[in-house]
Structures are given as structure tokens and as C-alpha cells.
Amino acid sequence: MTNLVELLYILILAGFVGFEVIKRVTPTLHTPLMSATNAISGISLVGSLVAAGSDHFTSQMLGFVAVTAATINVVGGFLITERMLKMFKRKERK
């Protein structure tokens, strides 16, 4: 039970940090924000890795599909965020 309370603390505090940080994201970058948070939430990869890397066949199968899906998000998400951010340039004007 202490553990659950501990985890709730983390959830709530991280939620507040997220709220404050993301409130300051410029609306111009709202699409990159979505793809970036998506890549970051691909962190479910760590849970999937443990499942895919176990010695239990069912876990391995479920884990394999989960690892694939999460990796698509992590790799694809970061790459496309970079690709978008590269486009946001400031033009030198006289």
C-alpha cells in the first residue's frame, strides 16, 4: 500500500510539472509537441521489453508485438519530430 501511495505522488507531481511545462509550449509547435509526447510515451517499450525477454512463450509473443508497436512510436516519433522541427526556420529579412 505504501508503494501505491508513492506511485500516486509521482503521478500527481509529474502531472503538475507536465502541465506547467506544456502550458509554455508555443502554439506554433503544437504538432511537434504531439509527436514528441507520443515518442516519449513509447516508453511503454521498457515494459514490453521485459515481457518479450522473459522465458514464457505467451509473454514473448505479446511482448514481441508490443515491442514492435512501441519501437515504431519511439523511432518514428523522434525522427518525424526532428524532421518537422528542422522546417521551422527564421528567415533573414532586411
Partner 1 sequence: MEVLNYPLEITYIVASILFILGLKGLSHPESARRGMHFAEIGMLLAVVGTLLSGEIVSWEWILSGIVIGSVIGTLMAVFMPMTAMPQRIAISHAFGALAAVLVGINEYVVHTEKAYGIMPALGFEVLFGALTVTGSLMAFGKLQGIIPSAPITYKGQNIVNIGLFFLVLGMFVYLIFFPFDAAIFFTMITISFLIGIFIVMPIGGADMPVVLSLMNSYAGLAAAATGFAINNKVLIIAGSLDGSSGFILSIIMSKAMNRSFANVLFGAVGSPQVDTSKLHEERPINRFTVEDTKFVLEQADRVVIVPGYGMAVAQAQHTVRELSDALEKRGVKVDFAIHPVAGRMPGHMNVLLAEANVSYDQLLEMEVINPTMDTADVCIVIGANDVVNPAARTEKSSPIYGMPIIDVDKAKTVIVMKRSMATGFAGIENPLFYESNTKMLFGDAKNVLQELVAEFKKN
Quote the least distance from Cβ 28 to partner 1, whole Å: 5
Considering only residues 14 to 43 of the shown chain, the ones binding partner 1 according to CB under 8 A are 14-15, 17-19, 21-43
What does R_g of the chain's alpha carbons equal in angstroms?
A: 18
Quote the least distance from Cβ 9 to partner 1, whole Å: 10
Considering only residues 57 to 86 of the shown chain, the ones binding partner 1 according to CB under 8 A are 58-86
Q: Across the chain, which distance is largest between two alpha carbons, in Å?
A: 66
Cα 7 to Cα 69: distance, rounded to the nearest angstrom: 26
Cα 44 to Cα 46: distance, rounded to the nearest angstrom: 5
Applying CB under 8 A, does 5 fall inside the site for partner 1? no
